[in-house]
Structure 1
Amino acid sequence: MQKEKYSVGNILTNLKIDSLNDMQHASVTANQQHADVILLSATGSGKTLAFLLPILERLDPANKNTQALIVVPSRELALQIEKVFKQMGTGYKITACYGGHLRETEENNLIQPPAVIVGTPGRLGDHIRRENITIAAIETLVLDEFDKTLELGFQEEVSFIVESLPNIKKRILTSATEAVDIPAFLVLDQPAKLNFLPENGTPAERLAIKQVLSPENDKVDTLFRLICYLGNRSTIVFCNHREAVERTSKMLSEKSIINTFYHGAMEQQERDAALCKFRNGSVNVLVTTDLAARGLDIPNIRYIVHFHLPHTEDSWTHRNGRTARMEASGTAIVILAPEEKLMPYLADETIETIELPETAKLPEKPKWTTLFIAAGKKDKVNKVDIVGFLAKQAHLKKEDIGLIEVKDFFSFVAVVKSKVGHALEQIKNEKIKNKKVKIDIAR
């Protein structure tokens, strides 16, 4: 095997990380000593790097075929892992495969096999059936968030993927919960089990749990008054169904709460726009299903609001895992209707009841607005191009431009709200990279 193109020191520098944490150290060591490893660790603790480093140790630069496959439950998690891997600067190619966009785009990316492929079960299975993925050299298999991936609806496809890989020598399974059986088709060989889960889910000293008592069964007015009480802090509101997500989001909008919603039935561009607006501060309230309980890379979320009670303790744990990440603190708030009671697994918790003021005062409006630009990586457009274009053509200063996210075929950029109207007027007939593209406020 040739010498690797990277060093762990360089990787940590590229990721702006000072050092590996205890869990990541343990994972690297265990994977050097064991063929199969099960890693249990809380959401937000750094599991992605904990399995990417062992993958890298096994990659052979001389082998030009795909050598590792990472299976994940959602496209957002696939994209997050792809982003981290690219930031590591190893010189190896990675491709993310997921539903919701053109399969042909991925097929083009797979013509020259990437060293690592990350994707959702359905799309990976589809590529394997079409023989788009060269499987003979794949020796490392990772199931990230395997408990979710193996839930009903995914198990059959994951079984097909695993049985299609004849030369697997290493399996890594990760999860933020222990409550799942590992199916026989994975054929684990005396796996090393690393359990870094805190005893009671998210560490209590960082996660505060509170409740709000709604005087009515329809809890929307209570939710509205709670958001007013919390102010313009980053807040995720969890509902149990897609229809409830859209209904709740609409009712909040009618009460002048700026928010966006997110669920699995949305088109990919709509999902990207919703998450981008929440990430960049154009909205501070995200109304969503449990789809957002895993894999989303959104820092500094202050409040988790359980508008609907979670169906299971696992769901409770994963929802709350969006806040109190790493060293930050956060608060989980349960809204209870008159007939509802707290979940039995909270019996030992000390739970404060929030008394909402009678008069609700609308929170301060966000200072940012998100622009949609119909050009992205495939059009050879990058963040520097967008900053230069907005500075030159829209006369925006550096502090007027916020977070920029460039996708394959479109981009999003946060602009100070007070400057948006003038900026759009200035750039309506201008070109980016000599190409006229649609630019408008993101919907």
Structure 2
Amino acid sequence: MSNLIQEKVLLSNLGIEAFNEMQTKSFQTIQDQNEVVLLAPTGSGKTLAFLWPIISQLNPEIKQVQCLILTPTRELALQIEQVWKKLGTGYKVNVCYGGHAMQTEIQNLTTPPALLIGTPGRIEDHLVRDSFRTQDIKLLILDEFDKSLQLGFHEQMATIIQRLSHLKKKVLVSATPCPDVPDFVKLKHPVTLDYIVNDQHNHKLQLHWVRSTDSNRNKIVVQLLSTFKDETALIFCNQRETAESLCNYILSHNIAATFYHGKLEQEDRELALIRFRNGSVHFLISTDLASRGLDIPEMKHVIHYDLPGKLDEFTHRNGRTARMYESGSVYVLASHVDHLPKYIDPNIPEFVLPTATSIPLAPQFTTVYISGGKKDKINKVDIVGFFLQKGKLAKEDLGLIDIKDHYSFAAIKNNKVNSLLKNVYEEKMKGKKYRIQIAK
């Protein structure tokens, strides 16, 4: 297949009209060079930028792992897998990460994928167990490699790279300006593609500081959210306890919100992101776990309830808004502009809160849980048909649908949820009765 025909097929599979400038340049550079460092902001499409050129590097005659992608978190690994599957290449992919059943992963690897994605700790574990061969791995991609180092994966990454003795290409990807490349990667003459713009010189991003004190910060956040109407916001806290406490305070004011951090169970983390993506809540309160590598939509506003200690984390947080061609606003809570850290321009304007506000507009959707998923041979078409026919919904009453292995979620218009649950209570989908209820 020619590159032009392949490109048209990929664009059709992805549902987009064209690759952006960064993706096109990355494709050509990764094709031509053996060592590439790609620096691009969160939300710029860099996952697609490094997945696209992989396709031409794979040999369909080789039935072993040919490309390995290391990521710092399971969420990022799963997101990369989803993008790869959308490409529709026909090449098998497997994902390995902690918290996933090791025996299931080993079984999946008995038929080796062309592309293997995983966290450093879990991939090292599989190498110790000889779960897959490394002789045919010619391409290594380290996505958010600086984050992997921050999380303490230095030793595991060094061990993995040492085992990959037949590598021909190395691609390092980051959203951090000028990250330090560790010696164990053994780059000799890398080509760097730098698409990172300093946030404070990004004209699409409006930075503000909001006057607050330690005692009234929660109240100030509620007032600030009330100025957003129906627009989305991501609120960053430094501690998970703070994120939960702030979320509960916001909920107590009849404002729909959810929290997200690394200590939540995997299913709870998934549900929080799903509710945010499908419009069941407009406000997500999170630790820095949500600053990069998560499949969440662009939002209009980012609030720093707590400020991070370093500029690069401030940059990653802000990268959740004003992406590509969109505009966005960032709000920093402080008692005085002089108390801002040195990495923030002291000349940023103050955002003065109005004296009277009403609570933000309520979301239009509620997330509904279905106790069947991929392993039950349930797909989106099945759920849509079931809810339209048996649930008596109109198409416009149904929002985003997410299918997991053993369960699914669907966004339903608020005023239709009760009638839907009543209508499908005794009904069967594909010959089987499933539990359907409001997701909790």
Normalised-by-shorter TM-score class: over 0.9
CA distance in 2, matches of 1:301, 1:99: 30
Q: Deviations over 1:195-221 (max 9, x none)?
A: 2222x2376221111111014544111
Unaligned runs of 5+ in 1: none
Partner of 1:205: 203
CA distance in 2, matches of 1:101, 1:231: 39
**Residue 416 (structure 1) aligned to one of 410, 413, 416:** 413
* Worse overlay, 58-67 or 119-128: 119-128
Q: What's the CA shift for 1:27?
A: 1.7
Amino acid at match of 2:275: K
CA contact (8 A) 1:42 1:201 kept: no
Q: Does 1:361 align with 2:358?
A: yes
Q: Deviations over 1:127-181 (max 9, x none)?
A: 2222222222111100011111121412122122222222111100011113432
Q: Does 1:223 align with 2:217?
A: no
Partner of 2:431: 434
CA distance in 1, matches of 2:94, 2:69: 10
Q: Does 1:313 align with 2:314?
A: no
Amino acid at match of 2:156: E
Q: Does 1:61 align with 2:63?
A: no
Does the C-alpha gap of structure 1 residues 371 and 184 become closer, same or farther in structure 2, counting only changes over 3 Å? same
Q: SS of the counterpart of 2:53?
A: helix
Partner of 1:290: 288
Does the C-alpha gap of structure 1 residues 107 and 434 become closer, same or farther in structure 2, counting only changes over 3 Å? farther
Partner of 2:248: 250
Q: SS of the counterpart of 1:251?
A: helix
Q: What's the CA shift for 1:241?
A: 0.9
| TM-score of the two chains, using structure 1 as the length reference | 0.94
Q: What's the CA shift for 1:284?
A: 0.3
Q: SS of the counterpart of 1:257?
A: coil
RMSD: 2.0
Q: What's the CA shift for 1:416?
A: 0.5
Q: What's the CA shift for 1:339?
A: 9.7
Partner of 1:322: 320
Partner of 1:83: 82
Q: Deviations over 1:276-329 (max 9, x none)?
A: 000011000000000000012222311000000122101110001111112111
* Worse overlay, 28-37 or 100-109: 100-109
Q: SS of the counterpart of 1:435?
A: coil
Q: What's the CA shift for 1:395?
A: 0.9
**Residue 401 (structure 1) aligned to one of 384, 398, 402:** 398
Amino acid at match of 2:99: G
Q: SS of the counterpart of 2:314?
A: helix
CA distance in 2, matches of 1:233, 1:376: 31
Q: SS of the counterpart of 1:7?
A: helix
Q: What's the CA shift for 1:61?
A: 0.7
Partner of 1:165: 164
Amino acid at match of 1:236: L
Q: SS of the counterpart of 1:370?
A: strand
Partner of 1:98: 97
Does the C-alpha gap of structure 1 residues 411 and 104 become closer, same or farther in structure 2, counting only changes over 3 Å? farther
Moved over 4 A (4+): 2-6
Q: Does 1:425 align with 2:422?
A: yes
Q: How does 1:118-267 map to 2 (within 5 A)?
A: 118-198=117-197, 200-201=198-199, 204-267=202-265
**Residue 266 (structure 2) aligned to one of 240, 265, 268:** 268
Does the C-alpha gap of structure 1 residues 300 and 23 become closer, same or farther in structure 2, counting only changes over 3 Å? closer
CA contact (8 A) 1:5 1:90 kept: no
Partner of 1:387: 384
CA contact (8 A) 1:210 1:333 kept: yes
Amino acid at match of 1:76: E
Does the C-alpha gap of structure 1 residues 381 and 203 become closer, same or farther in structure 2, counting only changes over 3 Å? farther
CA contact (8 A) 2:200 2:345 kept: no
* Worse overlay, 294-303 or 259-268: 294-303
Does the C-alpha gap of structure 1 residues 69 and 203 become closer, same or farther in structure 2, counting only changes over 3 Å? farther
Q: Does 1:374 align with 2:371?
A: yes
CA distance in 1, matches of 2:339, 2:215: 12
Does the C-alpha gap of structure 1 residues 276 and 152 become closer, same or farther in structure 2, counting only changes over 3 Å? closer
Q: Does 1:21 align with 2:20?
A: yes
Q: What's the CA shift for 1:338?
A: 5.8
CA distance in 2, matches of 1:409, 1:121: 26
Partner of 2:49: 50
* Worse overlay, 316-325 or 15-24: 15-24
Aligned residues: 440
Q: How does 1:335-350 map to 2 (within 5 A)?
A: 335-337=333-335, 341-347=339-345, 350=347
Q: SS of the counterpart of 1:131?
A: coil
Amino acid at match of 2:357: A
Q: SS of the counterpart of 2:86?
A: helix
Does the C-alpha gap of structure 1 residues 339 and 27 become closer, same or farther in structure 2, counting only changes over 3 Å? closer
| TM-score of the two chains, using structure 2 as the length reference | 0.95
* Worse overlay, 96-105 or 276-285: 96-105
CA distance in 2, matches of 1:202, 1:427: 52
CA contact (8 A) 2:200 2:207 kept: no
Q: What's the CA shift for 1:242?
A: 0.9
Q: What's the CA shift for 1:432?
A: 2.5
Amino acid at match of 1:260: T
CA contact (8 A) 1:202 1:321 kept: no
CA contact (8 A) 1:249 1:260 kept: yes
Q: What's the CA shift for 1:12?
A: 1.8
CA distance in 2, matches of 1:187, 1:414: 48
Partner of 1:112: 111
Q: SS of the counterpart of 1:436?
A: coil
Q: What's the CA shift for 1:227?
A: 0.8
CA contact (8 A) 2:318 2:330 kept: yes
